[in-house]
Amino acid sequence: MNAKISIRGLTKTFGEGAAAVQALAGIDLDIFDNEFVTFVGASGCGKSTLLRTIGGLEWHDGGELAVSGHSVAGPGADRAMVFQHYSLYPWLSVMDNIKWCRRLKVHTAERTMSDVEAASGRADALLRLMGLAHAGDAYPNQLSGGMQQRVAIARALMPKPEILLMDEPFGALDAQTREVMHDLIRHVHKIEKTTIAFVTHDVEEAIYLGNRVVLMAPRPGRIAQIYDVPLPAQRDQDMKHAPEFLALKKEILARIRETSGMKTDFELLEKLNQPTS
Ligand SMILES: Nc1ncnc2c1ncn2[C@@H]1O[C@H](COP(=O)(O)OP(=O)(O)OP(=O)(O)O)[C@@H](O)[C@H]1O
């Protein structure tokens, strides 16, 4: 099977000399069509850098990165990104926020009127999919954080991207809203058949959403381990209490502690604080 996203020996360093930080060191990973892959790891392990590089927003300095068999040379309509902060246009209604990229495309590509009508139909369908059918005329400042993020996801899906790159999209939401968003994004994944790469700090979120969880480690940023999630495609919140879910969560958390350097710092501190005989 050909990979949708193929990453080989990918490296990326920020800065030079003594100030250089190797954000990515020899990343090898294949992500397949319609997969939902989540990324976790200690702060600074390169999760966002890897996602931004796949999105074409950062340039790698070594290795190879291909999407659908083509080397990535910058951002493209085949990939859409959703960030933690919703970045909606406050002066546009929900519906116009969702249609914005399509309107630009229609104007610049001299499309036909039927393109414009098709775009309206898709925007309506996305509003419904996101449970926002009643909110098309509202403005972003009238919406809760969870609703704003649903608009941002609908806007990202509008041009039918093959790949959705999500960087801590639910990080600013409260726990209950996050749970609702988890089920919603799994549903979107099933219906839209988009390949999703999703970065998070939350191990429970990573397991509940992902078909695979990629654990990264810092200094230098690298893949420490890839876990297959032992859950069926159709998920429900009760699965978070299943023994296999809890066992995987415990294992990943332990590995994050181990790879973050915090454990070594702690052991060193303990040694330094032992009484001298
Ligand atoms: N624009 C930049 N200039 C310099 N260094 C950077 C830049 N972006 C990222 N870095 C560094 O690269 C490393 C990886 O950063 P990145 O943000 O990708 O990690 P992360 O795993 O997403 O972190 P976090 O979980 O804290 O968001 C870090 O050491 C970070 O300080």
Q: Whose CA is nearest to atom 30 of ligand 1?
A: 44
Q: Whose CA is nearest to atom 1 of ligand 1?
A: 14
The answer, yes or no, to whether residue 2 has pLDDT greater than 80, is yes
Between the CA of 46 and the centroid of ligand 1 the distance, in Å, is 6
With left for phi above 0 and alpha for psi between -120 and 50, is residue 231 left, alpha or beta?
A: beta
**Residue 9's pLDDT band (cuts 50, 70, 90):** very high
- Give the C-alpha separation, 184 to 164, whole Å: 14
CB within 8 Å of 13: residues ≥ 6 apart: 20, 21, 22, 23, 61
Between the CA of 24 and the centroid of ligand 1 the distance, in Å, is 10
pLDDT at res. 212: 98
Helix (H) or strand (E) holding 91: none
Spans of all domains in the chain:
1-78+162-265, 82-160
Q: Which of 10, 11, 13, 14 to mutate to test the pocket of ligand 1 (most atoms within 8 A of CB)?
A: 14
- Between residues 269 and 33, the one the model is more confident about: 33
**Residue 134's pLDDT band (cuts 50, 70, 90):** very high
Q: Which of 16, 47, 216 to mutate to test the pocket of ligand 1 (most atoms within 8 A of CB)?
A: 47
Q: Is the CB of 6 under 6 A from ligand 1?
A: no
pLDDT at res. 101: 67
Between the CA of 45 and the centroid of ligand 1 the distance, in Å, is 7
The stretch 2-10 carries a mean pLDDT of 95
The answer, yes or no, to whether residue 4 has pLDDT greater than 60, is yes
The answer, yes or no, to whether residue 120 has pLDDT greater than 60, is yes
Q: Is the CB of 21 under 6 A from ligand 1?
A: yes
Query: Which tokens hold the place of 104?
Result: 């630009």
Ligand 1 atom nearest the C-alpha of 219 is 29
The answer, yes or no, to whether residue 217 has pLDDT greater than 80, is yes
Q: Is the CB of 45 under 6 A from ligand 1?
A: yes
158-203 tens-digit pLDDT:
989 999 999 999 998 899 989 999 999 999 999 999 999 999 999 9
Q: Whose CA is nearest to atom 29 of ligand 1?
A: 44
Q: Which of 40, 43, 48, 201 to mutate to test the pocket of ligand 1 (most atoms within 8 A of CB)?
A: 48
The answer, yes or no, to whether residue 26 has pLDDT greater than 50, is yes
pLDDT at res. 111: 61
Asked whether 119 and 102 are in contact (CB, 8 A), the reply is yes
The stretch 84-103 carries a mean pLDDT of 84
What is the second-level CATH architecture of the domain 1-78+162-265? 3-Layer(aba) Sandwich (3.40)
Q: Whose CA is nearest to atom 26 of ligand 1?
A: 43
Q: ipTM value of the model? A: 0.97
Model's pTM, two decimal places?
0.89
Q: Which of 24, 38, 49 to mutate to test the pocket of ligand 1 (most atoms within 8 A of CB)?
A: 49
The stretch 112-116 carries a mean pLDDT of 68
49-72 tens-digit pLDDT:
999 999 999 999 999 999 999 999
58 three-state secondary structure: coil
pLDDT at res. 110: 45
The answer, yes or no, to whether residue 106 has pLDDT greater than 50, is no
Query: Which tokens hold the place of 41?
Result: 């790891």
Q: Whose CA is nearest to atom 5 of ligand 1?
A: 14
- Give the C-alpha separation, 162 to 169, whole Å: 18
Between the CA of 43 and the centroid of ligand 1 the distance, in Å, is 8
The answer, yes or no, to whether residue 142 has pLDDT greater than 80, is yes
Asked whether 208 and 233 are in contact (CB, 8 A), the reply is no
Q: 116 to each of 18, 103, 119, 141, how far by Cα in Å? A: 53, 8, 5, 27
The stretch 139-162 carries a mean pLDDT of 92
Q: Mean pLDDT over all residues of the chain? A: 89
